[in-house]
């Protein structure tokens, strides 16, 4: 028990990087996902096919393989990325595909009559999408996005394989030092659970607030 207490600061630092990777990847993933969703719904044939292909490839391949491609594979082309940068890029691209599906469903759930009404008031289609459709779609997409966000939090453990010292990697380093497994694995499991529970609570509150306003 003492070794756990003594190493709490080290594990908390790992948890900080876990949260940092989650937030940064989700931020860029939201941007990628929104652009992809709009491309699939409103884009011309070329952009629809590109967006559809991106989603199919990312959802059809393991996240770990995607991380290896970004971190190790790009070296073949002379592109060497730091482990943290590679983690941001790989996870952002990965989460963007799943976010795009949530946004696509949400955008299609907004009644078409609202877009038509916006166009009738003199708005362009781009303005109608930005001012009318997207705000409502975001509210509709909050529940699936929340699940995706929590999933991303847990998926960050995969980047431990490229030596990013997030929570999982921190536990592995301590296990190598103390030659015991269960105490550290149970501790980080508890920490993941706490972070997931807090995020779920925040997202539930946000959903309720948006449903009112």
pTM confidence score: 0.87
User: Range of 94's domain?
Assistant: 2-212
Average pLDDT, the chain: 88
**Is the pLDDT reported for residue 113 higher than 70?**
yes
**Structure-block tokens of residue 180:** 């015991």
Three-class SS of residue 57? helix
Q: How confident is the model at residue 72 (pLDDT cuts 50, 70, 90)?
A: very high
**Is the pLDDT reported for residue 131 higher than 90?**
no
CATH code at position 65: 1.10.3720.10
Burial of 25: CB neighbours in 10 Å, binned 0-12, 13-18, 19+: buried
- What pLDDT, on the 0 to 100 scale, is given for residue 211? 65
- What pLDDT, on the 0 to 100 scale, is given for residue 210? 67
- What pLDDT, on the 0 to 100 scale, is given for residue 94? 95
Q: Which is more confident, 211 or 76?
A: 76
- What pLDDT, on the 0 to 100 scale, is given for residue 212? 58
**Is the pLDDT reported for residue 111 higher than 80?**
no
- With b meaning 16 or more CB within 10 Å and e meaning fewer, what string describes 141-151? bbebbbebbbe
Number of folded domains that form the chain: 1
**Is the pLDDT reported for residue 188 higher than 60?**
yes
Q: How confident is the model at residue 68 (pLDDT cuts 50, 70, 90)?
A: very high
**Is the pLDDT reported for residue 4 higher than 70?**
yes
- Predicted confidence (pLDDT) per residue in 155-182, tens digit: 999 999 998 989 999 999 999 999 999 9
- With b meaning 16 or more CB within 10 Å and e meaning fewer, what string describes 36-54? bbbbbeebeeeeeeebeeb
- Predicted confidence (pLDDT) per residue in 76-102, tens digit: 999 999 999 999 999 999 999 999 998
């Amino acid at each position: 028990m003492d070794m756990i207490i003594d190493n709490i600061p080290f594990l908390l630092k790992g948890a900080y990087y876990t949260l940092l990777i989650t937030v940064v990847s989700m931020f860029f993933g939201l941007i990628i996902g929104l652009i992809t969703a709009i491309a699939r719904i409103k884009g011309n044939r070329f952009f629809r096919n590109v967006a559809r292909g991106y989603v199919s490839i990312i959802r059809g391949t393991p996240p770990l393989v995607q991380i290896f491609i970004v971190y190790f594979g790009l070296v073949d082309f002379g592109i060497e990325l730091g482990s943290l940068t590679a983690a941001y890029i790989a996870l952002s691209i990965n989460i963007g595909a799943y976010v795009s599906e949530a946004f696509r469903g949400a955008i299609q759930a907004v009644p078409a009559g609202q877009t038509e009404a916006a166009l009738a008031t003199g708005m362009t289609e781009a303005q109608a999408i930005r001012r009318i459709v997207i705000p409502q779609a975001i509210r509709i997409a909050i529940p699936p996005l929340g699940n995706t966000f929590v999933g991303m939090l847990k998926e960050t453990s995969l980047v431990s394989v490229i030596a990013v010292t997030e929570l999982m990697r921190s536990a592995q380093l301590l296990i190598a030092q103390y030659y015991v497994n269960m105490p550290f694995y149970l501790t980080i499991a508890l920490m993941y659970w706490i972070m997931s529970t807090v995020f779920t609570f925040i997202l539930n509150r946000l959903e309720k607030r948006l449903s009112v306003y």
